[in-house]
Amino acid sequence: MAFFSIIIPCYNQAHFLPDCLDSLLVQNYQDWEAIVINDGSTDGTSEITNKYVKIDSRIKLIEKENGGLSSARNHGIRNAIGERFIFLDSDDFLYPNCLEKVAFVAKESNDNELIQYGYTYITEGKERILGHVNVAEKKSLLFEIFKGNLGPCHSICISKELVHKSGFFDETLKSAEDWDFWIRAVKVGGSQKAIQESLVYYRYSFNSMSRNPFIMYDALKTVIQRAHKKDTRISIESPLNIDYKFDAKEELEQIFIRTLGVSIMQNRIEESITFFHQETAKSLQEYNSSDFEAMCSYLSFRYWYSRDDIEKVFSSFYPQFLDFFDKMGYGKTFRKKALNHIFKRHIYYRNIYRFGKIQGSFFNFILRNIRYV
C-alpha cells in the first residue's frame, strides 16, 4: 500500500516528464507511488520513464493505446493502490513540500473531503513565475460547482473511495472532464478542505492555446447544461444526486465570451464571427462593451505581463481583436471601449514600463476613473 497514488497521463510530452518525476523524488514525504500512463506516445515517453523506474521502484509505467486524457487517467485509477489520488499532467510538477503538507491535512480528513491547495502559473521553460492562484474557500460546494470548475486536477487530492463512488472520468468529453468529475464528486458527498498555499506548478504558454476553442466550448456547454440534473452515471444512491432548479444562462455567457477570446487570440476571425452568430441569442446592440472583458481570461493571455509579453499582446493580439469588432460592425467608440475593457490590465503594465512607476501610476489612476460602459 501507499498513501498517495500520483497518476500521470502522458501523450507525446516526454520532454516535460523529467521535471514532473524529479519533483516526486525530492518530496519530503515518502509514502507514495507514481503511475505514468503512456497513452500511445510516439516520442521517448517510455524510455524516459523506464530510466526513472530503475532509479525508484515507486515509479511505474503502464503502456496503452491512445485513448485520450480521461481514458489514461481511468487506466491509472484502476491500477492504483494508494488511499489518496493526485492527478498530475506530465507538464505539472510539485513543490518539494507538497505531499507532506497534503498528507498532514488528509490524515485528519474523512474520505469525502477534497483537499484543495493553491497552484503557481509558470512559463513553459520555467524562466519566471506568472502568478499564484489561491483556494477560494466555500462553505458548500453544491450550486457553486454548477457555476464553474472547483479547480484543475493537479490542485485537488481525492480519496480512492470517493473516486470510485463518483464514477471515474468521462471519456466522451474532449475537454472540461475535470469539472465534470468534480461535479459528480460533490453529488456523492464531496466537500472541501482548503490549504492556503501554492503546492504545485502549472505550466502556462501562449503555445498551449493551439487547442481547438470550439471543441472546448462544446464540452463546457455539455457539462454546464447537465450539471444541475440528476446524473445517471452515478451508480450509488446519494441524496444530493437529484434535479435542481438552476439557471445556467450567466455561466453559458461567460464561457461563450472566453471562447471568443481564445479563438480571436488564435486569429480565427472569420470562425469567431460565425461562432458568435451561431451561439448568441442576443443582438449586437444588446451587448455592452464591458461584456467582452472576459475575453481576457486564464484561457487566453490573462497572466502575461512581462515587457516582452506586453509587446506581443499589443503587436499581435490587439490588432486581431480590433479586426473582430470592426468586422462585426461595431462602431469606433464601442470598439475602443471594448478593447479598453479587454486589455485594461495590459494597458496598466504598459504605462508602468513606458513612463516609470510614478508617472505610469498617475496615468493609470486617470484611466481607472474613466468609466467605460
Q: Which residues touch 73 (CB under 8 Å, ≥6 apart)?
A: 7, 9, 37, 87, 153, 168, 169
**Confidence band of 370 (pLDDT split at 50, 70, 90):** low
Residue 240 lies in a domain: no
Q: Does residue 288 lie in a domain region?
A: yes
Beta pairing class for 32-39 and 2-10: parallel
Instruction: Identify the domain boundary among 208, 232, 260.
Output: 208
Decide if 185 contacts 162 (C-beta within 8 A).
Answer: yes
CA–CA dist 91, 225 (Å, integer): 30
Q: Using one digit for the tens of pLDDT, what is the confidence trace for 42-66?
A: 999 999 999 999 999 999 999 999 9
In a domain, 216, yes or no: no
Is the residue at 93 inside a domain?
A: yes
Q: How high is the pLDDT of residue 205?
A: 76
pLDDT of 369 strictly over 90: no
Do residues 175 and 285 share a domain?
A: no
> How many CB atoms sit inside 10 A of residue 333's CB?
9
Q: Which of 158, 179, 208 is the last residue of a domain?
A: 208
At residue 247, does pLDDT exceed 90?
Answer: yes
13 and 113 in a single domain? The answer is yes
Is residue 96 domain-shared with residue 27, that is, in the same domain? yes
Residue-wise pLDDT for 306-362, tens only, equals 999 999 999 999 999 999 999 999 999 999 999 999 999 999 999 999 888 888 787
**Quick one: cell of 211?**
487547442
Range(s) of the domain holding residue 25: 2-208
Model confidence at 206: pLDDT above 90: no
372 pLDDT higher than 50: no
Tell me, yes or no, whether 124 and 52 share the same domain.
Answer: yes
Any domain includes 91: yes
| Structural domain count of the chain | 2
Percent of the chain with pLDDT over 90: 88
Q: What is the DSSP letter of 371?
A: P
Looking at the domain assignment, is residue 299 inside a domain? Answer: yes
Compute the radius of gyration of the chain from its Cα atoms.
22
Position 359 scores a pLDDT of 83
Residue 163 lies in a domain: yes
pLDDT, tens digit (0-9, with 9 covering 90-100), for 278-316: 999 888 889 999 999 999 999 999 999 999 999 999 999
pLDDT at residue 209 is higher than 60? no
pLDDT at 373: 41
What's the mean pLDDT in 241-261?
95
Same domain, residue pair 107 and 19: yes
Task: Identify the CATH number of the domain in which residue 192 sits.
Answer: 3.90.550.10
Does residue 193 share a domain with residue 300? Answer: no
pLDDT value of residue 199: 98
Of 155, 178, 208, which marks where a domain is finished?
208
Q: pLDDT category, 208, cuts 50, 70, 90? A: low
Inform me whether the pLDDT recorded for 171 exceeds 70.
yes
In the prediction, which pLDDT does 103 show? Answer: 98
133's torsion region: left (phi>0), alpha (psi -120 to 50) or beta?
Answer: beta
Are 204 and 255 within one domain? no
Span 252-271, mean pLDDT?
Answer: 96
Residue 217 lies in a domain: no
For 199, the enclosing helix (H) or strand (E) is: strand 191-204
Per-residue model confidence (pLDDT) at position 210: 54
pLDDT for position 257: 96
Give the mean pLDDT of the chain: 94
Q: Taking the model in full, what pTM does it have?
A: 0.92
Q: Does 72 share its domain with 186?
A: yes
The separation between CA 305 and the C-alpha centre of its own chain, rounded to angstroms, equals: 19
Q: Tell me the per-residue pLDDT of 90-119, one tens digit each, with 9 for 90 and over.
A: 999 999 999 999 999 999 999 999 999 999
The Cα diameter of the chain in Å comes to: 65
Q: Is the pLDDT of residue 150 over 90?
A: yes
* 168 & 312 share domain: no
Whether 192 and 309 map to the same domain: the answer is no
Q: Are residues 83 and 174 in the same domain?
A: yes
**Is 156 in the same domain as 7?**
yes
Does the pLDDT of residue 368 top 90, yes or no? no
